[in-house]
Structure 1
Amino acid sequence: MAVKDHYMPMFEQYNEAENFDCYLERFEIYVEAIGLGLRGQPDADDAGGTVGARVVAIFLNAIGRKYYGILRDLVSPKAPKDIPYDELKSTLKKHFTKPIITIAERHKFIQRNQRPDEKTSEYIVALKHLSLNCKFGEKLDEQLRDRFISGMRDQNTSLKLMEKAGAAELSFNEAVEVALARESAKDESKYLRESAINTEVYTISAYSSGGKHGSGERRSNNNNKHKKGNKERKMCNRCGRKSHDQQNCWFKDKKCNVCQKVGHISRVCYKRSQGVCTVEMDDSDSDIETTLPLPIFTTTKSSDAICVNMNVDDRNFQFELDTGSAVTLISEQAYKEHFKYKLLRGRL
């Protein structure tokens, strides 16, 4: 019997973007939900018609104008309302369902690999969908397992699963559980590494021992103090900044510590030497040069630098070994190329 005193929305019209078998399954679930069966029993309901006739009426209304017209042509000279639901369903399935070529379906299945931006869970669903028309029978689980392992993007996980399959019988579901667990662990590990790293990046310039402490400029994602106008200005020849014109530079009357001439400071002096590397904090919002109390030592450069290969966040870099340095530095270019996603904070 139909459900009384309870509003049920009309079932949505069919769209060819949806698989027709899926549409029929959802329609039959809807019919059950409103209290109608699909057996077409002759018992009269409270509306005076048979349950089967009501199901047909709901179905013909649900498929919409376009597909009702197609169905009407297919069953002519009969009227669609006079035909049982099962016959209507069979007629439309023949019309919408294309012939299945098993070889072609298996080829699609075998060629399917995990895409670069595809999660493992999405890859699993794609393989299951492609296997529907492959007719693997009792070999379905084995075929799914083999294709899943062979087509995985993560080669380390793929090799691990191959080892498990070689040592003991491994089902598709077991392979899926291992792959999902490893993917989750890898994502969490990456997140923990990124959140734990306190990264600072400085640009280092070389100056002579007679000058101020260099021009170490701190770059931070959270401290973007440069204004748009600064990018359009040329660099001031007196101090090296872009926040003003050289006519308005605070250092226009200052004496250079390198060449002893008035009108610029050591950081832009063309006579500066390249023998000593020093660091100075540079605040772009201020026109006052800040000197840090850091000792400067004259050193002799050696062409025989000692270099070591190191892995930083799954990337290989070659560093010059300095046993007396308290920090390890990379260039700004290397940061922008490999670590733009890192949060920059802190002070030197």
Structure 2
Amino acid sequence: MSSSTCIFGGNLNFDHACHEWQIFKDRFVQFCIANDITEENDAAGLKRRALLLTALVDDTYRVVKDLAFPTLLDNVEYKALVALLDRHLEPKRCSFAERSAFYKAEQRAGEGLAEWAARVRRAAQYCGFGTELDTALRDRFVLGLEDAKEKERLFAESVDTLTMNKALELAQGVRCARQALRGARGAGEPPQLFEMRAGSGAGRATPAAAPSPAAQTRAGRCKVCGYRNHTTDQCRFSDLTCQNCNKKGHLRRMCKSRGNNFLQPEDSDIEDDVAV
């Protein structure tokens, strides 16, 4: 790298009080590669040592200087300098403690599936799982899922064939399907269903009785799903089996065998009727 060559990657800096040494070290290696500083053209490590030391903030530089004492930093080789920082800044790891934290990990509220999968992998780095790594990753990913529908879908898979990558793919498929159903529900008007309450006194508001499936059909609702934005012969749910009577041709919300005295408000959530 000549003096006229631009430096790629910007200015690196490392503060041991707030930065992670391993992350910085990995970035420093990439910085050297981007600027064509290699073992071949920097065999003595002079350039890499100079770049590393100038990347340290004052407090960190002072710590490294104290660690090297009585040897001057100018006399410490690059690889020895990195080893010195490794010993001082890399935390001591206890495999059992790391595994304990790994097995307790759970998906956080609002955390995406890809982010949860990445966090599971990060938590397993120092657990020493060896050849059992993929099995451990898959189990923690599945068991730690926050969403019951996604977990239920993965529970249906065989532990002999389900891999970590496949588990992530299936969970993402369930989430995408549910989001698509919500979009479809938003395009049409869901049935407005209310619970019947007997014995309402005078002067108190009393919800109207839920209309029967036949009455809903006469009002222009699909006999299969209860929505108004299509006809019965166009309904994409017509081949699904009712979760109430186990017959095809309608969803649970439109089942005649469940009685007309009340329909629970949660029946307006179509995902429960079409979940696999």
Fold agreement, TM-score > 0.5: yes
Q: Matched residue pairs, number?
A: 206
Larger radius of gyration: 1
The residue number in structure 1 matching 2:15 is 15
| Aligned CA distance change for structure 1 residues 198 and 161 (closer, same or farther; 3 Å) | closer
Query: In the TM superposition, what whole-angstrom CA distance separates every residue of 1:136-191 from its partner, at most 9, and x where no partner exists?
Result: 0000000011111111112232232222124x411111111111111122123223
Query: What one-letter code is carried by the residue in structure 2 that aligns with 1:14?
Result: F
Alignment of 1:276-315 (within 5 A): 307-310=261-264, 311-313=267-269
Q: Contact (CA 8 Å) 1:2, 1:34: kept in 2 or not?
A: no
Secondary structure of the 1:183 match is helix
- Moved beyond 3 Å, runs of 4+: 1-5, 7-10, 15-18, 38-42, 195-200
Q: What residue in structure 2 maps to residue 256 of structure 1?
A: none
Q: Equivalent residue of 1:169, what SS?
A: coil
Structure with the bigger percentage of strand: 1
* AA in 1 matched with 2:268: V
Q: Does 1:178 align with 2:132?
A: no
1:6: Cα distance to partner?
Answer: 2.5
Q: In the alignment, which residue of structure 1 is the partner of 2:161?
A: 169
Q: Distance in 1 between matches of 2:58 and 2:69?
A: 16
Match of 2:114 in 1: 121
Shift in Å, 1:312: 1.1
Q: TM-score, normalised by structure 1?
A: 0.53
Q: Distance in 2 between matches of 1:31 and 1:125?
A: 27
> SS state of the match for residue 308, structure 1?
coil
Between stretches 151-160 and 119-128, larger displacement belongs to 151-160
**Are the equivalent residues in 1 in contact too, given 2:9–2:31 (CA < 8 A)?**
no
User: Does the 8 Å CA contact 2:109/2:146 hold for their aligned counterparts?
Assistant: yes
Name structure 2 gaps, 5 residues minimum. Answer: 193-201, 207-259
Asked whether the equivalents of residues 31 and 55 of structure 1 are also in contact (C-alpha less than 8 Å), the reply is yes
Tell me how far apart the structure 2 counterparts of residues 127 and 3 of structure 1 sit (CA, whole Å): 44
Matches within 5 A, 1:77-156: 77-156=70-149
Distance 1:114 1:9, change over 3 A: closer
Specify which structure has the higher proportion of helix.
2
TM-score (norm 2): 0.66
Once residues 165 and 66 of structure 1 are traced to their aligned partners in structure 2, the CA distance between those partners, rounded to angstroms, is 54
C-alpha separation in 2, matches of 1:188 and 1:137: 39
Give, in whole Å, the separation in 1 of the partners of 2:5 and 2:56: 25
Structure 2 CA distance, aligned partners of 1:100 and 1:61?
A: 29
Amino acid corresponding to residue 90 of structure 1 in structure 2? A
Asked if structure 1 preserves the Cα contact closer than 8 Å seen for 2:120 and 2:137, the reply is yes
Question: Which of 57, 60, 69 is the equivalent residue of 1:64?
Answer: 57
Q: Is the 8 A contact 2:15 2:57 kept in 1?
A: no
Identical-pair percentage: 22
